[in-house]
Structure 1
């Protein structure tokens, strides 16, 4: 299969651009947001309340913990893009260097890994999402077409005895290896 990007069907008429490298020596392909998307700041009252209670040593209720966790939960920013690649490759999704510094946006998982068998899965056609948290003081609206991450194609190796292990076929989408 040739290595290439494609627009998922859901966004076929949305006028999206495929990821591209900005300069001749750029390692990463710039991914853009498929829609306007608001990332709320983590600095909301439930989260601040929990931080205060932790600081002064007060016990937390289950409800307080649940509300605070909701404030720091990452959200998935859609790109409308899927990727085809060779079997022994993956696409590493990394944050743009300007995101934390200028916008307070981070990838909580550090990097995302898109496996070659993620494309065209039943759940979401292999659409690539960028997992993000907004550490800024105010909500941040990402505009459609704004560059949010970069993808770098990487080869990978397996152990010499890897063929002995039974592997499942991928059946799920984001965050799923098809294994329950």
Structure 2
């Protein structure tokens, strides 16, 4: 029985992208790489495609964190500090659950992200709900921002 993991979105199935891996036995995160090369001008934002989607249990989410080497050595941060991929983002009708990494170049120079370069880490988390929480009746109908504006 599948519980959590990664798959390629259909548009990237023949692209040669590898599924994320942990690099050491004690690594919490799965390294996520850029599916395309991207030039980040100083002070600008970009959505970098990974070619990946993630499946997980309904009481879990995938946290997206910038790789420290990218942040410290090159001045790139996540635009939203931490990304959260909900379980129902998987296979949504808008974009199949394609994970994009929203980054900002905080440096004074352009930063080139190469295809295949590891840019973020994905960590699977369990979450808790509040007392008297009732499960919402609605279902995700799309990708980015589809749970409310």
* TM class, shorter-length: over 0.9
2:141 is matched with 171
1:37 deviation in Å? 1.2
Q: TM-score, normalised on structure 2?
A: 0.94
User: Which of 128, 136, 141 is the aligned partner of 2:107?
Assistant: 136
Greater strand content:
2
In the TM superposition, residue 105 of structure 1 has moved relative to its aligned partner by: 0.4
User: Which consecutive residues of structure 2, in runs of 5 or more, have no partner in the other structure?
Assistant: none
Aligned to 1:45: none
Deviation >6 Å, runs of 4+:
none
From the two aligned structures, give the one with the greater helix fraction: 1
Helix, strand or coil at the partner of 1:77 = strand
Asked which structure has the greater CA Rg, the reply is: 1
Query: Cα RMSD over matched residues?
Result: 1.3
TM-score of the superposition, structure 1-length normalised?
Answer: 0.78
Which structure 2 residues correspond to residues 1-180 of structure 1 after superposition, within 5 A? 1-42=2-43, 72=44, 74-163=45-134, 166-177=136-147, 179=148
